[in-house]
Structures are given as C-alpha cells and as structure tokens.
Structure 1
Amino acid sequence: MKKRMMILIISSLVLTGCWDKRELDELAITMAIGVDESDVGYLVTAQVVVPLEVSIKGNTGNSPITQFRAEGETIFEAIRKLAKIVPREIYPGHLRMLVISDTVAEKGIGEIVDYFSRNWEMRSDFYVVVAKEMTAQEILNVSTAIETIPANSMFNMLNVAQETWSSTRGIHINDLISDIGSGGKEAVVTGIEVIGDEELGSSKKNVETITPGARLRLLDLGVFKEDKLVGWLTEEESIGYNKVTNQVKSSVTTLSCPEGGTIAIELIRAHSKIKAKIINGTPEVEVKIKTEGNIAEVDCQLDLMKVENITMLEKLYSEKVKEKMQKSITTLQKDFNADIFGFGEAVHRADAKVWKKLEPNWDQEFSELQVNIKVDAKITQFGVIVNPVKIKEKE
C-alpha cells in the first residue's frame, strides 16, 4: 500500500506542469510604471514594450513602447483595471523604473512601497525616482535617443550619474523600504524632470534630430520624513550627503589657485565611516573620510613639482570636501530635522539603552547633535603631464 502511494505521489509531481505558466505572447512586458494622483485615488501609467518593434526581423520603425493608463483607489486596483484596455496581461517582472509624482510623494508613499514590495512577480532591482514639479505620466511620455526604451534610458542614466558625478543616488525599492522603516534613518530619492518641449518629447520627431526637443534630466536628492517628501537638497548638499554616507564613487572638486585660476580634482577613491559615542548621556557623532584625488585639469600657472604646492592643494581639497559635508549636515539639521545620514543608527550601535531613551524625540535630538568631521584628502595622481601647459604670451 505504501509503495502504491509513493508511486502516485511521484507520478503527480512528474506529470503536473507549471500551473501558472504563461506564454510570452500573452504578456505585456512592462518596463516602467508611473504613479500620479487622481480624483479616485491613483492614476497608474504603464510603459509597455511593443514586441514587433524590438525584434530584429519585425521592426517597422514605429515607437518601441506604448503606454496604458488606469485609475483606482489603490495601486493594485488601478493596475488590474488596465486589463480593460491592454490586450495582454501586464507583466512587471522586467520593471526598470518606478516614477512617483512629487504631489503623491508629499502625501506619502507607504501604500505604493507596500504594493511593489509584496508583488512576487517583481524583482527588487528597479529604481525609484520622484518627478519634480510635473507628473509621472509626463516623464514616461518622453521618447529617448541612444536607448530606444525610455525606462532603460532612465535606468542607465542613474547608473552613470552615480558613478561619475555623485549628486544622485540610485535607490532600489528594498533601500526605500529599509530607510522608511528604520528608526534611526530617513530616506532619500533622486528627482527627475523633463527639459524642453514636453509635447514634442512624446513624438517620434524627438529622436529624429541631432538635438532632441525634450530630454529627461536627473535632479538632486529629495528628502523624506517617514514616507513623506519634505523637500529637496541642492547639488552640493546632495554630494555632501553621499560623501557622509560613503556613497561617492567619483566626483569633481574645483579649487582656486593662489594667484588666480582654478584646478579641477577628480575624486578617484573615497571611504567614509560614521561612528557615535555617548558622553555623559549625550550623543556625539564623528564622520571620518579618506579621499584620493587626481589632478584632472589645470587652469593656472602653479608649479606642481614643488611639494609645498601639493601640500597646499591637499589642504584646500580637504577644506572643500569638509565644507560640502558640513553644509549638507547643517541643512538637514536646521531646515528639515530629518536624519537621512543614519546618525541615529550609529547611536543605536554605540549604546542601545541610550538610544531607546532618545529615539522617541530623535528629530529634536538630531537637530542639536554635535557632528565632528575629519577629512584626510590626498592628491596621488597628476595625469599624463605634471605641470600645466604654458601658453606663449603675445608680444
């Protein structure tokens, strides 16, 4: 009897197919989703790939993507309602971008984050951005050059920008969930906007010219308290934030030469560390950063063969790095009362009992927190040539 039962179980496992199997031609591959306000709750925009236009053999020269929109009291309802206008089932398994309008973000993104974190079909490696002073629908409506699918263009823009400039940061959905749910750290999200002629941006003509009439442009970081957007950092403050939190991979710092002119320093390596200590029940935080730079451009007559000149530049470099970090910290303490740096987490690591007392009023504690910044900046590379090119003066 037991043998027969085992045979039946094995047979059922072998003969049973994938109960939820769906063919590719039944799915609408969704690369980006936009979330805006509507009278009933949310307006969801889905950026869907047109299969014929992305295949090598079937390309007809039309747009490689199309858009569908639906409203609902919840995100889930709005996405399900897309079935009334989409000939295939919306499939978000290849989602690259989630774009949320600033008006929605200001009211709270808790419900949105909850939905996108629960959906088993979605990977967690898509980026979240906030559309500043425009709708998410307008962002997704722009056709892009180089990358024919706009969602891919936005995704790659974020990757390149955070690698080379550092005033932005690619935030995955898991990062956002972690920061919103953390007791000692608030969230940040990179902004995005359309520059140029928005109406032209939605047409094929936008990518048929050397200079598109409309482009997508990444902005600096939006600051959240709990799940609500409360304001925006400047470019310098965003770079300062990334330096404090060890997120900088490369950036450029411009120094003024003593006799006039400038020198551009390319950051090639940086590592920062946040450490808290408790002194008589009061927390203090120390931020240490080590950074190495390369002299990328010289627009002044300064002898770089002299050790004292390099020492002087390193001092200026250290001061400039510290200035950006301090400016970012001061703005968050005085203007936002939002600890996006994770100083609260550092205090928790230092002394869990003290943190338990401070946590209920951490916003106020953070605004008065003593933060000490220590910068160790070195210039270790000079490019192919050392001294600046001398231009012959006219007689």
Structure 2
Amino acid sequence: MLIVPIFTGCWDRRELNELGISMAMGIDKAGDEYRVSIQVVQPGAVAQKTGGGIESTPVSLFESKGVTIFEALRRMTNTSPRKIYSAHLRFVVFGEEMAREGIGDTLDLLSRDNEFRKDFYLLVAKGTTAASLLSILTPLEKIPANKIYRSIDMSEKSWAPTTAVTLDDFIEDMASKGKQPVLGVIEVLGDGQQGNSPKSVQRVRPSVQIRTAGLAAFRDDKLIGWLNEEESIGYNFILNKIKSMVDHVACPAGGNVALETTHSKAEIKGRVAEGRARLKIKLNVEQNVGEVQCRLDLTQPDSLDELERLSQKSLEELVYRTLEKVQTEYKADIFGFGSAIHRSAPKSWRTVMNDWEENFEHAQVDVDATVRIKRNGTITNPITEEKGET
C-alpha cells in the first residue's frame, strides 16, 4: 500500500521583505475621489544608528486616489514596490474637510476587509489634511504613527482631554438613536511644510509638533464641531472615562491647590416628565492633594472639607459648561442621554425618540458631584508655611 503523506503549510504566507508595513492611514477628499495616504515603515532606517552617512527617514508616505478606498489602495502599487500590509495599523485619520463631508462610506472597507484589525483608532486632523499630518516626523518616537498612538493612550490615562475611539465604537454610536459619536482630534503646531525633514526633529525644540487637541463632535457620520481641552474632560467625566486627571481650585485667601483625580464613577439616569426629557448625572470622585500654593493647614478636618466643597463646585461647573455648549451649539447627543432614558424608561423613550435632536436641546440636566479627598501627600503643610514656622 502506498501511503501518500499530506503536508499542511501556510498557503497564504507572506515574506516580510515583500510587504510594506502600514502604521497609519489618512483619508481626504479630492473632488469626486478619495485621496488615501499610507505611512509605511522603512525597517532599515528605523534600525539605522545616527552618525556618518546619509540619514534616511524612518517612514515613507505613499498616496493614491480612487473612487473607492479599495481602488485607491490597489492603485498604490503603481508607486509602492511592496504590497501594503495593514494588519499593524495604529490609526486612521480623516482630514477636517473629509470629516465635515461625512466619513460613513469610508468605514465599509475598514469593517469588511479581514486584513484590518479592529483595534486601531479613528481620528480627525484639525485644520489640515490627513496627508499633510502623516508626512510630519516626530521626536522621541521614530515612527510618527507610534508617537500619535502612544500620545493618545498616555493623554487618556493621565490627563483626560481626549478619548480613544475604535472603529467598532464609532459605528455603534453612529447606529444608535440615543447617542451621537465623537472622535479624538490631533493638530499640527508650527509650519507643517518643514515637518517632513529629519532636521525638524534634530533640535531641542522641534519646529513642528503633533499634539492631541480634544474631541470632535459628530452628528451621524459628519463632523459638526470641536470640544476644547476643558470640555473634553467634562465629556469624559460624564461618560465615565476618567482614569486620572489633575485640576486646581482657588484657596479662599489666595493661591491654588492642585488635586489629582484617582477614581471617578458617573451614573446617568433619565426620564420623561411633562413632555420634557430630564437627566440626573451623579458623580462620585476620589482625589489626592498634589500641590499646595497657599496657606492651608491640611491637618484640620475643616480645611479638607472646604477643599472638597470647592472641588465639587468646580467639577459641577465644568460639566455644566460642557453641557451648555453641546446642547445649545451642536444639538447632538454625544453623551448618550437618549440611551439612558431608553434604559431607565423605555416606554417614555418612545414618546421623544423621533424628535430626539430637538428634545436633547431642551433637556433638563442636573449634576450632583461628590468629592472625597483621600491623601494629602508626604507633607502636611505648604513648604512656605513650614519655613515661616522655623
């Protein structure tokens, strides 16, 4: 009997030297077509040591146009010697003009093609095109896509002026009748034309930088406006997305105290009464004293009580300012108040859901914050006060 061995293997294996590893994708509008930009890693340049010889850029930018995103990516083979491989994509960024026109149609390929993992972020480039932003080199991180990705992660965890939004997050909010989506924002500081040269990052103060810049508010798939740093923090408090952040309150006798939020929990309850949507936001926040720049005796319970009261007031005012801007200017429920009413009172939700945009604008929202200060740090009184007592 002849036994024929059956060998299995990686039939779809791709050699690394045949692929162009894509770290970021940019999408802009070019008339009736899309302009797609891909930031591809140059492995040799990334591993290159500084010194003699000509220093290469760590990434290359390939661009192509097409009526569809898929077509533009395939047409990119006209200029790229390697197949673009997108399994390691860090983010997709939309130019501002593209985002205002609507990004819904561009999401189909990103969802449909199994080469794209679904953990990459979606971003908006404020005041510029995606192609221009992706051409800028960055300090510290040789690969700009990694710099932007890690800046978003670090900022979200430590400062809270932005939030990481994945493809699935955006599609879920866009499809919901009770919540509108947001995306993180990045912008260019300085002359972007100078940012694509290695010389731009060979300075103590780089001439061009990329930074996170709050959040972009959407209605369905269209950009309608921006939330600045303060408003984005307010948004994150409401949406229960605060991991850590630092704020300050003014001391009664002058000076300031910096407070670090170490824990925050938000609860939203909604109902409809007398034909009007009514929401209650309850915030429970824990903070530590991070810095004291006034005469304040932290050993006294009254001092801590006063700090907590001031912090509660500051937090409530922050949230109210955020609510006022979104309700009056954008009239888009990026907070998910409609979903909160649907969860709490599904029958009442049916009476307002068809005109929810108008109902959201006139919704009554009450905010109740409770702040507890847990730790004062390793010293009790300010340095200046201790010096005066010696």
Counterpart pick for 1:362 among 335, 351, 356: 356
Conserved in 2, the CA contact under 8 Å of 1:278 and 1:350? no
Conserved in 1, the CA contact under 8 Å of 2:316 and 2:367? yes
**2:384 match: secondary structure:** coil
Using the TM superposition, give the Cα deviation of residue 116 of structure 1 relative to its aligned residue in structure 2, in angstroms: 1.0
What aligned pairs does 1:186-205 form with structure 2 within 5 A after superposition?
186-205=180-199
- Paired with 1:380 and 1:157, the residues of 2 have a C-alpha distance of 29
Q: Which runs of 5 or more structure 2 residues have no equivalent in the other structure?
A: none
TM-score normalised by length of structure 2: 0.94
Using the TM superposition, give the Cα deviation of residue 362 of structure 1 relative to its aligned residue in structure 2, in angstroms: 0.4
Counterpart pick for 2:46 among 36, 40, 54: 54
The equivalent residue for 2:89 is 95
Alignment of 1:32 onto 2:24: yes
Alignment of 1:44 onto 2:36: yes
* RMSD over equivalenced CA pairs, Å: 2.0
- Paired with 1:122 and 1:128, the residues of 2 have a C-alpha distance of 13
Aligned-partner residue type, residue 102 of structure 2: G
Aligned-partner residue type, residue 197 of structure 1: D
More displaced, 281-290 or 184-193? 281-290
Deviations 1:134-167 (Å, cap 9, x if unpaired)?
1111111111111110000000000000111111
What aligned pairs does 1:88-127 form with structure 2 within 5 A after superposition?
88-127=82-121
Using the TM superposition, give the Cα deviation of residue 190 of structure 1 relative to its aligned residue in structure 2, in angstroms: 1.4
Using the TM superposition, give the Cα deviation of residue 381 of structure 1 relative to its aligned residue in structure 2, in angstroms: 0.8
The equivalent residue for 1:236 is 230
- Paired with 2:43 and 2:50, the residues of 1 have a C-alpha distance of 9
- Paired with 1:76 and 1:360, the residues of 2 have a C-alpha distance of 36
The equivalent residue for 1:4 is none
Counterpart pick for 1:388 among 372, 382, 385: 382
- Paired with 1:101 and 1:57, the residues of 2 have a C-alpha distance of 34
The equivalent residue for 1:347 is 341
Counterpart pick for 2:178 among 173, 177, 184: 184
Conserved in 2, the CA contact under 8 Å of 1:144 and 1:150? yes
Aligned-partner residue type, residue 79 of structure 2: I
More displaced, 278-287 or 22-31? 278-287
**1:232 match: secondary structure:** strand
- Paired with 1:154 and 1:313, the residues of 2 have a C-alpha distance of 36
The equivalent residue for 1:155 is 149
Q: Which runs of 5 or more structure 1 residues have no equivalent in the other structure?
A: 1-6
Using the TM superposition, give the Cα deviation of residue 17 of structure 1 relative to its aligned residue in structure 2, in angstroms: 3.8
Conserved in 1, the CA contact under 8 Å of 2:213 and 2:228? no
- Paired with 2:47 and 2:348, the residues of 1 have a C-alpha distance of 60
Aligned-partner residue type, residue 188 of structure 1: V
Aligned-partner residue type, residue 21 of structure 2: I
Aligned-partner residue type, residue 241 of structure 1: Y
- Paired with 2:363 and 2:268, the residues of 1 have a C-alpha distance of 13
- Paired with 1:237 and 1:273, the residues of 2 have a C-alpha distance of 19
- Paired with 1:238 and 1:145, the residues of 2 have a C-alpha distance of 26
- Paired with 2:223 and 2:104, the residues of 1 have a C-alpha distance of 11
What aligned pairs does 1:18-29 form with structure 2 within 5 A after superposition?
18-29=10-21
- Paired with 2:154 and 2:23, the residues of 1 have a C-alpha distance of 19
Counterpart pick for 1:304 among 298, 301, 304: 298
* Alignment length (residue pairs): 384
Identity of aligned residues (%): 39
The equivalent residue for 2:211 is 217
The equivalent residue for 1:80 is 74
Aligned-partner residue type, residue 171 of structure 1: V
**1:338 match: secondary structure:** coil
